[in-house]
A = this chain, B = another copy of it.
Amino acid sequence: MDWNVDRIPEAVIRRLPKYYRYLRDCERNGEARVSSAKMSKDMGLNASQIRRDLNCFGGFGQQGYGYSVPRLKSEIARILGLHKQYNMIIIGAGNMGHALMRYTSFTSLGFRIVGVFDNNPDRVGADAAGYEVRNIDTLEEFVSQNNVTIAAICTPSSAAQSIANRLVRLQVKGIWNFAPCEVRVEPGVFVENVQLNDSLYVLCYRINAPEHEQF
């Protein structure tokens, strides 16, 4: 991989999934190539920003031709690490946990749910969207035997940090946290704190922004 910068800006990293989804849709529509001008129009991003972003990882475009959709899509997939398989577990078999289990658009990629855990005796042993709910007490044993890379925390806030600490000790590399609080981890472990409220607040901002702010 030929990256042109030492450190990819956070804002660029955050845009990569959008590029990936866009190119996947282009591919589904049978489009073989796409210009940065068209991407700009469709995605609502500045064309020069798109070119700059994609240049961070080595330029994939060709003057007057645009980008090859399959090539750019697979390069971005590789940059994001989507060409690999990941074993994932879900902690908490409540509504959010169920929503993730049924969210097939990621299970159809390289993410494989290998275990679901809960501490509620009414849930343990039951079937959740086709998965057996395991006792959280068996987490350590399970993770040590199943090459788990990613754990989604779907517990209440009160349990989230202590679960994260257990996952860190188990050397689970990635924590996808849906509890409405931020969990903190040791260096070498990565966390995405999904704060559903944040997008609601941004929506409120837009609804209330002065006219000249609207876009």
A residues with a Cβ closer than 8 A to B are 3, 6-8, 11, 13-14, 16-18, 20-21, 79-82, 84, 86, 94-96, 98-100, 102-103, 105-106, 109, 111, 149-150, 173-176, 180, 182, 187-188, 190-192, 194-210, 212-214
Contacts and interface: CB of A to CB of B under 8 A. Distances in A.
B201 A17 contact: yes
A132 to B, nearest CB: 18
Top 3 nearest A-B pairs (CB, nearest first) are A81-B208, A95-B99, A17-B198
A95 B129 CA distance: 11
Contacts of A6: 212
**Of residues A6, A8, A206, A214, which shows the largest number of chain B Cβ atoms within 10 Å of its Cβ?**
A206
Nearest to A208: B81
Contacts of A198: 14, 17-18, 21
A164 to B, nearest CB: 13
Identical chains in the assembly: 2
A205 to B, nearest CB: 5
A79 B17 contact: no
Nearest to A6: B212
B212 A7 contact: yes
Contact of A105 (B80, B180, B206): B180
A13 B214 CA distance: 12
A15 B157 CA distance: 21
A81 to B, nearest CB: 3
Given A13-B205, A174-B206, A204-B81, A106 B197 contact: yes
B190 A206 contact: yes
A61 to B, nearest CB: 21
A207 B174 CA distance: 7
B195 A207 contact: no
A196 B197 contact: no
B174 A203 contact: yes
A207 to B, nearest CB: 5
Nearest to A152: B200
